[in-house]
Amino acid sequence: MKNLIKAGIIGCGHLGKLHLKNIKEIEQRNQLIKLEGLYDTDTEMLKNLSQESGVKYYERLDDMLNDVNAVFIVTPTTTHFQIAEKTISAGIHTFIEKPVTETVEEAAGLEKIKKSGTIVQVGHIERFNPAILSVEKYTLAPLFIETHRLAQFNPRGTDVSVIKDLMIHDIDIILNLVKSDVKTIEANGVGVLTDTIDIANSRINFENGCVANITASRISLKKMRKMRIFQKNAYVSIDFLNNTSEVFRLSEDTESNIFSVPVNLNGRDYKIAYDKPVVDITNAMKYEEELFFNSIMHNQEPEVTLKDGKVALEIAAKIIEKIESNMGLIK
C-alpha cells in the first residue's frame, strides 16, 4: 500500500506494552498505519506478547529494521543513543521516549546524523496532558512558575536521577511556555534510596525575567503533579495528575458566562474572573503517537523535536551538575 507506515516497537516492558495497546487501536482506525513488529532482549516474554497481541516478533533488531519505516524506542535511557543512531542513520522515522539520550553529547550526535525528511519525536508526554491543553486558549506570559512533581518510589526508572526521570517533564513544559534563554540555575538535591538523586529542587532564572521553581521527588508518600503560573493580571493552576485546571484573571470586561467577583483597585473597577476550562479527557500517550504518525504522513516537524529533547536534557544536566557540586562541598 502506498505511503503505508510500518511501525515497530523496540522495548516491550511496561511502557512498550502501553504503546502496543495504543498503536493497535490506532491501526484499526487508519489503514495507512500497520504495527509490523516487536523487539525486546527478553525473548521468552517477547514470544508470549507476540502470541497475545498477534503482532510479529523479531529475535534480531536488524531484521525488524529491514521491515519497518518507523520505530518507537521504549528501552532504558542508557540504550537510547545506540539504537536511535542506527534507526536515524537508516532514515527510519524515530519516536524516542524521554529523556532523549543519557548525555547531551549523545543527543547532539543524533542531531548531526538526522537527515532531512526523517521525523524524530521525543516522548515528553506531559506536553499533551489534557490539563495543560485546556489552557492553550489563554495568552500565557509567565513571570513566576512553581511546580511540584512527587511520586511514590518505584524501582523502574531509577537507572537515571529524578531530574531526568521526573523533573525533565516540567523542564520541557516550562521551556515551551517561557521561550527564553536560561540565565542562571540554582539547585539542591540528595540521593536517599538509590545511588542517584531522588529528590531535588531547582530555581531557574530566565533572560526575560521569568523565574521557575521546580521540585521533584520519587520518594513521596503521595503523588502530586502540579504547576502554578503567575503573570500580570492572571494566575493559572494546572493539575496534571487529576486532569484539571483553573484560571483566575483580573478583567475589566463584564463576561456573563463565567464566575467573577467585583473589586476596586486604585479607583478603577475590575472583576476577578474565575474559569475552569473544559478538559477533554484524552489518552495523552495515544495523542502523541497520533501526532507522530501525522508528522510522518505530512512530512511536518513534530510537536516535540529532537532539539526540544536536547535542550531539556541540557538544562537537566546543568541541574545535576549543580547538585553534585553542592554535594561535593558538603563532603
Residue 273 lies in a domain: yes
Residue 80 lies in a domain: yes
User: Residue 243 domain-assigned?
Assistant: yes
Same-domain pairing of 265 and 173: yes
CATH code for position 40: 3.40.50.720
| Contact present, 288 and 282 (Cβ < 8 Å) | no
The reply to whether 209 and 94 lie within a common domain is no
pLDDT at residue 263, rounded to an integer: 67
User: Under a CB-based contact definition with an 8 Å cutoff, are residues 309 and 98 in contact?
Assistant: yes
Residues 46, 30 within the same domain: yes
Q: Considering the domain boundaries, does residue 71 fall inside one?
A: yes
Assigned domain for 254 exists = yes
Domain contains 310: no
Domain count, the chain: 2
Count the neighbouring beta carbons within 10 Å of the beta carbon of residue 6. 17
Domain membership of residue 38 (yes or no) is yes
Three-state secondary structure readout of the chain: CCCCEEEEEECCCHHHHHHHHHHHHHHHHCCCEEEEEEECCCHHHHHHHHHHHCCCEECCHHHHHCCCCEEEECCCHHHHHHHHHHHHHCCCEEEEECCCCCCHHHHHHHHHHCCCCCCEEEECHHHHCHHHHCCCCCCCCCCEEEEEEECCCCCCCCCCCHHHHHHHHHHHHHHHHHCCCEEEEEEEEECCCCCCCCEEEEEEEECCCCEEEEEEECCCCCCEEEEEEEECCEEEEEECCCCEEEEEEEECCCCCCCEEEEEEECCEEEEEEEECCCCCCCCHHHHHHHHHHHHHHHCCCCCCEHHHHHHHHHHHHHHHHHHHHHHHHHC
Those residues whose C-beta lies under 8 Å from the C-beta of residue 30, and which sit 6 or more positions away, are 293
Is there a contact between 76 and 53 (Cβ–Cβ < 8 Å)?
A: no
Q: Which amino acid is at 286?
A: K
Same-domain status, 193 and 218: yes
**Which pLDDT tens digit goes with each residue over 5-25?**
999 999 999 999 999 999 999
Same domain, 89 and 137: no
Looking up cell 536517599 gives 192
pLDDT of residue 280: 77
**Phi–psi pair at 189, nearest 5 degrees:** -175, 170
Same domain, 291 and 209: no
Do 175 and 226 lie in one domain? The reply is yes
Enumerate residues 6+ apart whose C-beta is below 8 A from 22.
283, 285, 286, 289
- CA geometry: angle 222, 224, 137, nearest 5 deg: 160
Could you tell me the CATH number of the domain that includes residue 197? 3.30.360.10
Kindly state whether residues 179 and 320 are assigned to the same domain.
yes
For residue 331, the model assigns a pLDDT of: 44
Q: What is the pLDDT along the chain (331 residues), one digit of tens a residue?
A: 458 999 999 999 999 999 999 999 999 999 999 999 999 999 999 999 999 999 999 999 999 999 999 999 999 999 999 999 999 999 999 999 999 999 999 999 999 999 999 999 999 999 999 999 999 989 999 999 999 999 999 887 677 899 999 999 999 999 999 999 999 999 999 999 988 899 999 999 999 999 999 999 999 999 999 999 999 999 999 999 999 999 998 876 655 556 666 666 666 767 788 889 987 778 999 999 999 999 999 999 999 999 999 999 999 999 999 999 887 754 4
For 191, phi then psi, to 5°, come to -95, 130
- Residue 140 and residue 260 in one domain: yes
Same domain, 58 and 180: no
Asked whether residue 206 is assigned to any structural domain, the reply reads: yes
Task: Say whether both 180 and 215 belong to one domain.
Answer: yes
Q: Residue 263: give the domain boundaries.
A: 128-279+315-330
Cβ(131)–Cβ(296) below 8 Å = no
Same domain, 19 and 150: no
Residue 175 to residues 122, 139, 169: CA-CA distances in angstroms?
Answer: 15, 16, 10
